[in-house]
Structure 1
Amino acid sequence: MDLQSLTLLVEILDAGNLSEAARRLKMSRANVSYHLNQLERSVGAQLVRRTTRRAEATEIGQRLYQHGLAIQNELQAARESASALGEGLVGRVRLSVPSGYGQLVMSDWLIDFKRLYPGIVLDVLFENRIEDLLRDEVDIAVRVIPEPPQNLVARALGPVRYVACASRAYAQEHALPTQLDQLSGAPVVTAAVIGKQLRISAYQGEERREVVLEPTLISENFLFLRQAILAGLGIGLVPDYVVQEDVRRGEVLTTLDDWRLSIFGTQMFMLYMPNRQHTRASRTFIEFILERARGAGAGGSS
């Protein structure tokens, strides 16, 4: 068994299937399968259970995966140490952030981070996928979810505060809802999960209620949703940071302020793999974002 074989095993299990591992390694699938078979013969045990869609580690495979991952991270740390002699911090961080929170809140943080650490390459994905969010070679993901997955490290970035709001022009022409149930029949402008019935959860003290919504406009792009709210297309249900400047200027009015509203969850989390020994670049980035989030005292959207 050599380092190349362990690297192959790590890539297969990180990718989730042989075809994706072959793409990442720039090898044919048949070649990946051959080298995996050779590794399993040398060990004398099955390391990976293959199905048509997935590749999952056996118990022995998981142990070897941990060793391979640790060796890879030590090598990366050694490279960083060598590169950093006489220079600033270097490395690469691949990050997945929600489209709305990433654009409207985190963009300034990421730019400030790059100014402080010009030698670190930031590879930023703006997306809202939840499923397998760390399989696409992502080091760190930021998401709003009701409960973080047990197989990931979750660092809280802050609460998520939704507001019910509308433009001043809309409010003058139509009565703003004053009761939660009125939202179910209102022209709602918001984001939604495709294929799922949209519900908003509302909290007041110990009371918790849910209202089924039938939006008139749905989008994952929160900049577009803000435009639609300002255009008077309906009642916006969006995170507070989306319209906070418009509210301050009096262009947007809020309602149902006695309720704490939530659609996707009440907390923003930073997520990463627990068994991955992060590089100095990743560790520095994690602490930087946590500090910024504490200073901002605000959560975000999905």
Structure 2
Amino acid sequence: MSAPMDLHALTLLVDILDAGSLSEAARRLKTSRANVSYHLSQFERNLGQQLVRRSTRRIAPTEVGLQLYEHGRKIRDELAAARDTVSTLGQTLQGRVRLSVPSGYGQLVMAPWLIEFKRSHPGIVLDVAFENRVVDLMRDEVDIAVRVMSEPPDQLVARDMGPVRYVACASRAYAEAHGMPAQLGDLCTAPLITSAVVGRQLRLAAYLHGERHEVPLSPTLTSENFHFLRQAIEAGVGVGLVPDYVVQDLIDRGEVLTALDDWKLSIFGTRMVMLYMPNRHPTRAAATFVDFVLARARQT
């Protein structure tokens, strides 16, 4: 008869592989690396199977280890959801949601939603990072990420939050002094204000009548801070190429003018997408947050 499975050891295996190294697992579990290594070795000895291949920097699961990891992650998440359900019976909703959002969209669009959600659910801890880099949800311990993209990764659950529309725009004073871009190619020579990725050639994808065009860009001013980009556009520094939500109120008031309005413009992607891990039973806090944000996104 086989020995019963040690659930504590199984969840430790999940924690180790999620962390990517024994040292990081020890840090997250607030224990020593030697303690983590000992319990992993004991688990392997009891099973008579190697579960993890160790190297000086990284670890990787064996085939058996990966199968156990998948089972263990489901069990761990089900237990967490069960504890969450029991602890919140008859109480206000509690829990923690770790969230990663784009700097511009997060600050200019999502911030009021997050504040509204927090007021409605004071027992939920929101841990919000404003960042534009690609996030590894498992490695970075992120529950939910919001990103601009055209093709979401297959290994994640992707919920559509709506289109991202870029506009070519400038202050009225700039337009009167220098004119507005009349053709797509004018963006190559205009003093361009936009966001960019360090070390990567910035290219604009533009669509008209079903045809796709691509234009290399050489901005005169770039930043990940969209408040700063907005200020630069208002000040007449050049032609902005930014998502419409950055300057929509200025456009509505006539302070900022747009050009190339027949074109559909895109730099980093055409959709705003919410991402989270599959096969993970969401806590009530996370599930409530997802539903809330998707509802707000559909109202915009």
Q: Deviations over 1:123-178 (max 9, x none)?
A: 11111111424421111111112311111111111111000001111111112111
Residue in structure 1 matched with residue 165 of structure 2 by the alignment: 161
2: CA distance, partners of 1:289 / 1:99: 16
Corresponding residue for 1:299? Answer: none
Shift in Å at residue 108 of structure 1?
1.0
1:290 aligns with 2:294: yes
Indicate the residue corresponding to 2:180 in structure 1.
Answer: 176
Residue 276 of structure 1 is matched in structure 2 by 280
Q: Give, in angstroms, the shift of residue 3 of structure 1.
A: 2.7
4+ aligned runs moved over 4 Å, structure 1: none
Letter of the 2:208 partner, please give it.
Answer: Q
Report which stretch shifted further, 208-217 or 40-49.
40-49
* Secondary structure at 2:198 match in 1: coil
Give CA-to-partner distance per residue, 1:214-272, whole Å, 9 cap, x none: 11111111111101111111110100000000111111111011100000000111111
Match of 1:95 in 2: 99
1:18 to 14, 18, 22: 22
Give the whole-Å Cα distance in 2 for the aligned partners of 1:148 and 1:54: 27
Paired with 2:29 and 2:277, the residues of 1 have a C-alpha distance of 21
With over 3 angstroms needed to count, the CA separation of the structure-2 counterparts of 1:170 and 1:132, relative to structure 1, is same
1:210 maps to 2:214: yes
Q: CA deviation at 1:4?
A: 2.4
CA distance in 2, matches of 1:47, 1:150: 26
TM-score, normalised to structure 1, is 0.93
Shift of 1:49: 3.0
CA distance in 1 between partners of 2:237 and 2:75 (Å): 55
CA distance in 1, matches of 2:61, 2:297: 36
| SS of equivalent residue, structure 1 residue 170 | helix
> Which position in structure 1 is the counterpart of 2:203?
199
1:232 to 232, 236, 253: 236
Query: Are the equivalent residues in 1 in contact too, given 2:145–2:274 (CA < 8 A)?
Result: yes
Structure 1 residues 271-297: Cα deviation after superposition (integer angstroms, max 9, x where no partner): 11112111111111111111111111x
Distance 2:154 2:208 in 1: 28
Report the aligned-residue RMSD: 1.5
Query: Aligned to 1:74, which of 74, 78, 96?
Result: 78
Taking structure 2 as the reference length, the TM-score comes to 0.94
Look up the match of 1:125: 129
Q: Is residue 134–residue 140 contact of structure 1 (8 Å, CA) maintained in 2?
A: no
SS at match of 2:153: coil
Go from structure 1 to structure 2 and tell me whether the alpha carbon gap of 1:20 and 1:111 turns closer, same or farther (over 3 Å shift): same
Partner of 1:300: none
Corresponding position of 2:226: 222
Using the alignment, how far apart are the partners of 1:281 and 1:59 within structure 2?
33
Query: Is residue 134–residue 272 contact of structure 1 (8 Å, CA) maintained in 2?
Result: no
Q: Is this contact kept in 2: 1:166–1:252, CA < 8 A? A: yes
Aligned-pair distance for 1:53?
4.1
| Correspondence for 1:42 | 46
Matched, 1:56 2:60: yes
* Corresponding residue of 2:7: 3
How many residue pairs were aligned?
A: 296
Please tell me whether the aligned partners of residues 137 and 143 of structure 2 are also in contact (alpha carbons under 8 angstroms). no
The reply on whether 1:245 has 2:277 as its aligned counterpart is no
Asked whether the 8 Å contact 1:46–1:58 carries over to 2, the reply is: yes
Distance in 2 (alpha carbons) for counterparts of 1:261 and 1:53: 42
Q: Deviations over 1:44-73 (max 9, x none)?
A: 222223344433323321222223222322
Deviates more, 1:48-57 or 1:253-262: 48-57
Contact 1:5–1:35 under 8 Å retained in 2: yes
Whether the 8 Å CA contact 2:167–2:241 is kept in 1: the answer is yes
Match of 1:264 among 261, 268, 277: 268
Deviation at 1:16, TM superposition (A): 2.0
Identical aligned residues as a percent: 70
Q: Is the 8 A contact 2:13 2:69 kept in 1?
A: yes
Q: Contact 1:157–1:269 at 8 Å: present in 2 too?
A: yes
**Match in the other structure for 2:146:** 142
The one-letter amino acid paired with 1:78 is A
**Conserved in 2, the CA contact under 8 Å of 1:145 and 1:266?**
yes
Matched, 1:65 2:56: no
Distance 2:125 2:107 in 1: 18
